[in-house]
């Protein structure tokens, strides 16, 4: 295999993840080949965009029948996933944390949620959604013993900022933050602030803007 | 008030929503003024970016003490929110739908989730998270009577594609899709496909890319 490409743009990585799930659905339906314009249509983008994304990862085996679904899935897998499985922990096992855990682990991903943390004594020490839940005091120890590299923060926004130091100290490499408190980490830790309120407000704004444009 | 600006870039809209929540937190702490570089620091961006965003919405009342927190909140409110409240419905009241409802309605937003839909007879006809839950057969009727303009799709991915036609027919203007099935709508309906799996895979990719770069 060629060198692992480390400089793929964010949007392309997102789309590769989306293509992969569409390709898995095709495979389940027995589809063996797909044209770039069909893949593009499903995602509401242009065929040029699809071909550009696949060129960026060095995939070029387009045939007269289109892309080989099986081969393309394997190729994207090599980009998106480590050879080693990636272990993820969830901090905050309220409604959102439990929903996320159930949601991720119900899918066939190579990234797995393998530990949860909560300050609630009714949760810590128990198994929730098939995952052991620990007290935050055990964070560093569990992260090390389980080889966890990514955390999902689904605690309250108030708690979230107090998690920054423990996360740094435990050597976590990636953070997916679902709270509305923006979290800042030193360089070397990948952070995705993913506040769902922001997205709802964005949709609301564009709905309003479209109405205004219609009225004028 | 000046004409409502309908051409603000997506990223600016997202940041305005984020600034607003930070400003609300400042206000709760009794802070009356804030400098652009302080606001910028909280969000891990530059002061130039903050000033550019606020210029785009026509806010320019910077003083020697910084921005007036109260005035800026009001100003952003006028951009992000309709005079009328925006009513939102959730389709699919499983774990994720319930978590989202609790999450949104627990915050002081002017956008409210006011109805839920599910095909499960144990849910339809009941109140869940303080919201009435209806059967999907009542969708168009409830959307009209409650003046719902936005839907959040948190059903299974398999169900999601079957929702496109009912959503169009009911005259919905904005869709926030949390499933991994990409949904396409005709022009005039704002869609945000917001698959959390994609974001986790993105974080995982950049963690892996950083490791590769360190090894080389």
Q: Kindly state the tokens that stand for A192.
A: 């995705």
Question: Which pLDDT band, with edges at 50, 70 and 90, does B82 fall under?
Answer: low
Closest alpha carbon within chain A to B104: A197
d(CA B90, CA A175): 27
Residues of chain B contacting residue A1, judged by C-beta atoms under 8 Å apart: none
Q: Nearest Cβ partner of B210 from A80, A103, A188?
A: A188
Question: Which pLDDT band, with edges at 50, 70 and 90, does A95 fall under?
Answer: confident
User: Given this model, what pLDDT does residue A23 score?
Assistant: 92
Listing DSSP states for A168-209 in one string gives HHTT--EEEE-SSS-----TTSEEEE--HHHHHHHHHHHHHH
User: Given this model, what pLDDT does residue A83 score?
Assistant: 66
One fold for B10-79 and B86-198: no
Question: Which pLDDT band, with edges at 50, 70 and 90, does A2 fall under?
Answer: very low
Sequence-distant (6+) residues with CB within 8 A of A38 are: A66
In the predicted structure, residue A138 carries a pLDDT above the cut 80: yes
Rounded average pLDDT over B4-10 = 78
Residues of chain B contacting residue A44, judged by C-beta atoms under 8 Å apart: 182, 184
Name the percent of chain A lying above pLDDT 70: 94
Report the candidate in A27, A161, A112, A189 with the shortest Cα–Cα distance to residue B211: A189
Q: Nearest Cβ partner of B199 from A4, A102, A176?
A: A176
Rounded average pLDDT over B83-89 = 83
A186 class by beta-carbon count within 10 Å (0-12 exposed, 13-18 middle, 19+ buried):
exposed
Rounded average pLDDT over B11-17 = 88
Between chains, do A100 and B196 touch, taking CB under 8 Å as contact?
yes
Residues of chain B contacting residue A82, judged by C-beta atoms under 8 Å apart: 204, 208
The correct CATH number of B10-79 out of 1.10.10.10, 3.40.50.720, 3.10.105.10, 2.40.50.100 is: 1.10.10.10
Residues B123-170 have pLDDT tens digits of 999 999 899 999 999 999 999 999 999 999 999 888 999 999 999 999
In the predicted structure, residue A144 carries a pLDDT above the cut 50: yes
d(CA A85, CA A112): 8
Closest Cα in chain B, distance from residue A62 (Å) = 24
User: Given this model, what pLDDT does residue B2 score?
Assistant: 46
DSSP letter at A161 equals: G
Using DSSP bridges, classify how beta strands B67-68 and B33-34 pair: parallel, antiparallel or unpaired.
Answer: antiparallel
CATH entry 3.40.50.720 includes domain A86-198: yes
In the predicted structure, residue B72 carries a pLDDT above the cut 80: yes
* Angle of helix B47-56 versus helix B36-43 axis, rounded to 10: 110
Closest alpha carbon within chain A to B199: A14
In the predicted structure, residue B29 carries a pLDDT above the cut 70: yes
Name the percent of chain A lying above pLDDT 90: 43
How many CB pairs below 8 Å do chains A and B form together?
198
User: Given this model, what pLDDT does residue B177 score?
Assistant: 93
- Count the neighbouring beta carbons within 10 Å of the beta carbon of residue A60: 8
d(CA A70, CA A31): 9
In the predicted structure, residue B213 carries a pLDDT above the cut 60: yes
Q: Kindly state the tokens that stand for A78.
A: 């090599």
Q: Within 13 Å of residue B101, how many CA atoms lie on the same side as its CB?
A: 27
Residues A178-187 have pLDDT tens digits of 888 888 899 8
3-state secondary structure of A127: strand
Residues of chain B contacting residue A103, judged by C-beta atoms under 8 Å apart: 95-96, 196-197
Closest Cα in chain B, distance from residue A86 (Å) = 8
Question: Which pLDDT band, with edges at 50, 70 and 90, does A176 fall under?
Answer: very high
User: Given this model, what pLDDT does residue B1 score?
Assistant: 43
User: What is the value of pTM for the model shown?
Assistant: 0.76
Sequence spans of domains, chain A: 10-79, 86-198
Look up the ipTM and state it. 0.78
Q: Kindly state the tokens that stand for A134.
A: 């620990």
């Amino acid at each position: 295999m060629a060198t692992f490409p480390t400089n793929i743009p964010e949007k392309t990585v997102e789309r590769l993840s989306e293509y992969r799930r569409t390709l898995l659905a095709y495979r389940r339906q027995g589809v063996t080949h797909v044209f770039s314009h069909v893949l593009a249509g499903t995602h509401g983008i242009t065929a040029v965009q699809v071909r550009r994304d696949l060129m960026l990862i060095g995939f070029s085996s387009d045939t007269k029948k289109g892309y080989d679904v099986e081969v393309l899935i394997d190729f994207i897998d090599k980009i998106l996933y480590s050879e080693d499985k990636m272990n993820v922990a969830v901090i905050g096992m309220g409604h959102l944390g439990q929903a996320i855990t159930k949601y991720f682990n119900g899918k066939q991903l190579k990234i797995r949620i393998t530990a949860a943390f909560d300050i609630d004594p009714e949760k810590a020490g128990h198994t929730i959604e098939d995952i052991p839940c620990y007290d935050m005091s055990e964070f560093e120890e569990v992260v090390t013993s389980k080889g966890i590299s990514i955390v999902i923060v689904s605690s309250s926004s108030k708690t979230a900022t107090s998690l920054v130091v423990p996360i740094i100290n435990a050597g976590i490499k990636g953070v997916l933050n679902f709270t509305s408190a923006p979290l800042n980490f030193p360089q070397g830790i990948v952070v995705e602030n993913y506040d769902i309120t922001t997205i709802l407000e964005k949709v609301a704004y564009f709905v309003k803007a479209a109405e205004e444009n219609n009225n004028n």
